[in-house]
Chain A
Amino acid sequence: MTLTDIAIQNLRRRKGKTLFLLLTFILVVAISVTLNSLAKNMQADLQKSLTQYGANVVITPKSEQFTLSYGGLSVPGVNYEVKHLSAEALTQLKSYPDLMLNSIAPKIIGSASSADNRYLIIGVDFPSEVKMKPWWHIEGRFPLEQEVLIGYGLAKQENLVIGDTLELNRRIYPIVGIMQSTGGSEDNGVFTDFSTARWITGIDSWSMIELNTAQPANTAALLSKVLPDAKVSEISQLVQGTQENIDRFTSFSLLSSLILGLIAILIIFVTTTGNINDRITEIGIFRAIGFRRQHIFAIFIREILLISLAGGIIGYLLGILTSALIAPMVLQKSMSFAFHPFIALTAIGASVIIGIVSILFPAWLAINIDPVEALSSI
């Protein structure tokens, strides 16, 4: 028999008290884990939508007529007085390293016509574009010089397939790829590389530059100053608001966990201190038999370690289960049973620390019990 065995037998055979302490740990850990996993999932969701959003800052020319909402690229053709960004804008942009730009996607946007149609020409750098818009799915391949890739809508409408050709401003271009439907303005576009786009449209600067940055607000503000002739718009105001709400919920979760932890310390402290009275005789026996103070202390520590560890683990599991169950109500979407090692370790670690902190004083009382007085009559 070891001191651990003594601790285990005490916990096993004093079921009521053990269960009460265990429940305290489980509840506190489960509630904290639920709140914090919800917060973490909201963060992760937002992060995902931020990157999926692609561009969160758009630089366009200051032009009354050229209204460009990203949802629907207004095509010149209605408007021939299109202005463009200066050719230096891109170089200027790249000379500011502290903008924290994840990706830069400049574009040349213009129009071209065939005998009976008008087309939206979009000149892009395909690698930059795909980095920003990972949802682009291409059938075929990206076009090289003097080749084009067309949107799904256009292909459908004109009955075009890979290998067909497209007449643009009286020249014939082979179609080497079709972009699957994005539901956006890409569906009706004709994509080419920069030089081809310049050749077709005659535009020798940039029509717009899309940026993805970690700090859209700061970047937009700074760029407005750097590029006075351009219109810099941040297209993540909505995301920003969400971010603030999530930050608030995260703080709330952390604060609640902290308060719950303190309440747990208080509950365990009070109950274990109270239980000492029931254990005075027992401790007197241990001391009379020749147990040192450290042995008694070790029994107390082992008891609380076992309970807090079990409570922490069960509480953690219950917490992620609960968060997965209530996520559909709170987040309007389902959440998987994600294992966050950080939350797991923090939850179980905090549980153990709560246990040890709250046991210190009662254990100190216990080790200072005088065996003779405890046994009243030996």
Chain B
Amino acid sequence: MSLIKVCEVNKSYGVGDKIVEALSNINLEINQGEFLALMGPSGSGKSTLLSIIGGLTPPTSGTLQIDDIDVYALDSERLADFRHEYVGFVFQQYQLIPYLTALENVMLPLAITSRPGKEQREMALTVLDKVGLRSKSLRLPNQLSGGEQNRVAIARAIVNRPAIIFADEPTGSLDSKTAKELLELFQTLNKDGLTIIMVTHNEENLAWVNRAIYIRDGVLAQIP
């Protein structure tokens, strides 16, 4: 049963007078519970595809269906609600809010729910525990190491129990030991039923995933 259906997706950017074809005719189905790696050279369109599937960037043409919802038929506010409910992002630069503590950053997706503060705290502390950062929950992002910030970002992505996690090169700036810990964490989450789509450059990371797809010059090249 496929959770995500990408159908005939094209994406082009107008740069000056020229039109850059970032993605051409992408067709892709991703099943519930998959841990998928998206690979390809720099500039091939990985981030673009990820943000289209994540409901952040509308494609120039084509459709995206997630859980039978025609995602880009939604207006921008419904799209925000959709992201809130279905999607968690782990950004490459972690993208934590600098003036919020680790705990507050993790609570962020819950701030726009009607959950009472106490429940929000408990949920946030539970996921911080899962990523091993409960003891540093009151630190600001600039008081945490890169790997720790990355884990806070993961905690924030999963706190609202989304169906899918999108991660763009989550191990890019980590040393191999920290990267391994992160992939183990992803694997645990995946075993709990979370669908994970991860952009990566690193062939070694393929050991952790169920499936890898390759993209070159905006075209999918599924390699066994």
Contact = CB atoms under 8 A, between A and B. Distances in A.
A293 interface: yes
A378 B112 contact: no
Interface in B175-201: none
A2 B121 CA distance: 12
A360 B215 CA distance: 43
A294 to B, nearest CB: 8
Contacts of A3: 111-112
Of residues A1, A2, A371, which shows the largest number of chain B Cβ atoms within 10 Å of its Cβ?
A1
B81 A281 contact: no
B109 A290 contact: yes
A358 B98 CA distance: 25
Residues of A contacting B: mostly: helix
A31 B168 CA distance: 53
A14 B100 CA distance: 11
B56 A378 contact: yes
Contacts of A6: 100, 104, 108, 111
Contacts of A14: 99
A289 B99 contact: no
A372 B22 CA distance: 15
A289 B92 contact: no
Contacts of B91: 285, 288, 375, 377-378
B47 interface: yes
Contacts, number: 90
Of residues A281, A284, A292, which shows the largest number of chain B Cβ atoms within 10 Å of its Cβ?
A292
A10 B111 contact: no
A289 B89 CA distance: 7
Interface in A1-58: 1-3, 5-6, 9-10, 12-14
B35 to A, nearest CB: 19
A377 B51 CA distance: 10
A149 B85 CA distance: 92
Interface residues of B, number: 38
B42 to A, nearest CB: 11
A57 to B, nearest CB: 68
B117 A2 contact: yes
Interface string B197-217: 000000000000000000000
B144 interface: no
Interface residues of A, number: 29
B112 A295 contact: yes
Given A282-B97, A292-B77, A1 B84 contact: no
Interface string A124-137: 00000000000000
B155 interface: no
Nearest to A282: B97
A107 interface: no
Contacts of A289: 83-84, 89, 108-109, 156
B120 interface: yes
A13 B96 CA distance: 14
Interface string B97-131: 11110001001111110000100100000000000
A13 B140 contact: yes
Contacts of B117: 1-2
Contacts of A284: 95
B57 interface: yes
A295 to B, nearest CB: 5
A1 B121 CA distance: 8
B76 interface: yes
A290 B85 contact: yes
Contact of B89 (A2, A10, A378): A378
B80 interface: yes
Contact of B80 (A9, A13, A292, A378): A292
Interface string B49-66: 011001011000000000
B2 interface: no
A13 B99 contact: yes
B165 to A, nearest CB: 13
B222 to A, nearest CB: 23
Contacts of B93: 377
Given A290-B85, A378-B47, A372 B57 contact: yes
Contact of A290 (B83, B95, B99, B100): B83
Interface of A: 1-3, 5-6, 9-10, 12-14, 281-282, 284-295, 371-372, 375, 377-378
Q: Which 3 A-B pairs have the closest CB atoms?
A: A290-B84, A13-B99, A290-B83
25 contacts: A3-B112, A5-B111, A6-B100, A6-B108, A10-B99, A13-B99, A13-B140, A14-B99, A282-B97, A285-B91, A285-B97, A285-B108, A288-B54, A289-B156, A290-B87, A293-B80, A294-B77, A372-B51, A372-B57, A375-B95, A377-B47, A377-B92, A378-B54, A378-B89, A378-B92
Interface of B: 47, 50-51, 54, 56-57, 76-77, 80-85, 87, 89, 91-93, 95-100, 104, 107-112, 117, 120, 140, 156, 166, 168
Given A292-B81, A378-B166, 6 more contacts: A5-B111, A9-B100, A282-B98, A285-B95, A291-B112, A375-B91
